[in-house]
Amino acid sequence: MTARVLVVGAAGKMGRAVQDAAVGREDVKIAGTVDQGDDVAAALAGCDVYIDFSTPAATLAAARAAIGAKRAAIIGTTGLGADAEPLFAELAKVAPVVVAANFSLGVNLMLGLVRQAARALGPAWDAEVVETHHKAKRDAPSGTALAIARSIAAGHGVDYDSVKRHTRDGDVGPRPRGEIGVATLRGGDVVGEHVAYFFGEHERIEIAHRATSRGIFATGALVAAAWAVGKPPGRYTMLDVLGLPS
């Protein structure tokens, strides 16, 4: 079966990358595209699933339309506020929904690896995440960096918000046991780099992923789109798509 895909935010960098990555694939085809001002509800009628790498406002509008259309959703928009989660939950009642901070297959493997490392090493090993992106990226830390940090917290069996540290400035005192730090770097045209550090006594472990093309995110989103069509309604992750334990 070939999944008919609607691209939301088609004129953006990721929207164009999704369209380019779909060329020649047999599991998906681009059935439509929409941008700001277009009728999303009408476009959804001619597709099985939509892929959204647009803006927070456009993503909320598309999700509202998808609830009525009962269409599967692949959502990679970053910088979403708290109002997005209840809406995604409503959509997940009627359609499969895959939300990911990063659709790279490599990054999602990294999420599984850092959780396993954190579980094995425990909070006695200091965990830090460093992310680097191009100078035009607006949100910080990146959604992927937060996903990595949350995977570490899950490995430790703790609530991430209770142990996170996103900024260090001035006399912050000694690093508390179990703290998970996230540092942000911005510059040039870096597509995306993420490194998870585990610092022990006299040794350290680094688990890293470096992207050199946005095409990897587009390819992963298309894999997710093909996978989602026909699945029961619910909220899924890329770990589900890849068949990895979540």
| Residue type at 236 in one-letter notation | Y
Q: How many angstroms separate the CA atoms of 68 and 229, rounded?
A: 17
Element (H, E) at 73: strand 72-75
Active-site residue, from 13, 29, 70, 137 = 137
Q: Which two tokens stand for residue 16?
A: 């164009």
- Sheet strand arrangement including 28-34: 28-34, 3-8, 49-52, 72-75, 96-99, 234-236
Q: Is 209 a catalytic residue?
A: no
Q: Is 137 a catalytic residue?
A: yes
Q: How many angstroms separate the CA atoms of 66 and 43, rounded?
A: 10
Q: How many angstroms separate the CA atoms of 103 and 108, rounded?
A: 7
Distances in Å between the alpha carbon of 90 and those of 19, 65, 112, 129, 227? 28, 11, 27, 32, 20
Active-site residue, from 133, 156, 194, 209 = 133
- Annotated catalytic residues are 133, 137
